[in-house]
Amino acid sequence: DAGVIQSPRHEVTEMGQEVTLRCKPISGHNSLFWYRQTMMRGLELLIYFNNNVPIDDSGMPEDRFSAKMPNASFSTLKIQPSEPRDSAVYFCASSSGVGGSSYNEQFFGPGTRLTVL
Amino acid sequence: AQSVSQHNHHVILSEAASLELGCNYSYGGTVNLFWYVQYPGQHLQLLLKYFSGDPLVKGIKGFEAEFIKSKFSFNLRKPSVQWSDTAEYFCAVNVDFGNEKLTFGTGTRLTIIP
């Protein structure tokens, strides 16, 4: 299995631009998670989906952030407009999602390093 | 809301030294606890987890952690570290068993000197 795939691996953009991060979960996994990692706040859950439905989006910082999961094999995290304080590493993870339980191990992708100038 | 504290931000040890990384959480109810590790250039991966039963859990690569409910702690230990243990270590907690949400600590960077 290829594991969780994220693209791009690095993104540099200017303030005000739209940024789209992409994630392909492990085949057969039913839950998908978006995390943000910064030096100050560590690793924070932004949103997670189960069977393509958003279950918990309490970590989404503000309306500039949106996430979609149109099918079981693809998700996007969009920031529009981007700001310098959005600079961080964004991780996607997936789990088998059986029963929506934390018993399910989360498998992480390599992350996307975003720099907003 | 629950939170996780990892007070050691950077730990430097020599090979063969014993390791203990602290993790404390704030939540009064039942919890599931995890340690994840990120080796240089690699993905974050699960090291070990505690759900119930024996409070001393063993994970991969000789790591273990002890859940002490009275101290709200889940410290990670290894009796003798190796250079290959150099990595960043994250403690995490789940408090809603119908929800897969994990709350992570800020991580501890471990550097092992050969």
Give the residue from chain A lying closest to B90, CA to CA.
Answer: A43
Band of pLDDT at residue A62, cut at 50, 70 and 90? confident
pLDDT above 70 for A6: yes
Q: What is the residue whose two structure tokens read 């014993």? A: B18
Looking at residue A99, its pLDDT comes to 62
Q: What residues in B contact A41, CB-CB < 8 Å?
A: 106
Mean pLDDT in residue range A12-18: 97
Q: Tell me the C-alpha distance between A25 and A95, whole Å.
A: 8
CB pairs under 8 A between A and B: 61
Q: Tell me the C-alpha distance between A54 and A34, whole Å.
A: 11
Q: Do A101 and B100 touch (CB under 8 A)?
A: yes
Considering only CB atoms, which residues of chain B are within 8 Å of chain A? 32, 36, 43-46, 49, 51, 90, 94, 96-107
Band of pLDDT at residue B81, cut at 50, 70 and 90? very high
Q: Is the peptide bond before A54 cis (omega within 30 degrees of 0)?
A: no
Q: Which of A31, A44, A108 sits opposite B100 (nearest CB)?
A: A31
**Rounded to a whole number, what is the distance in Å from the CA of A14 to chain B's nearest CA?**
27
Kindly state whether A14 is in contact with chain B, defined as any CB-CB distance less than 8 angstroms.
Answer: no
Mean pLDDT in residue range A30-47: 92
pLDDT above 80 for A100: no
Taking residue A62's Cβ as centre, other Cβ atoms within 10 Å add up to 7
Taking residue B12's Cβ as centre, other Cβ atoms within 10 Å add up to 11
Band of pLDDT at residue B100, cut at 50, 70 and 90? confident
Average pLDDT taken over every residue of chain A: 92
Q: What is the DSSP string of A18-53?
A: -EEEEEEPPTT--EEEEEEEETTTEEEEEEEEETTE
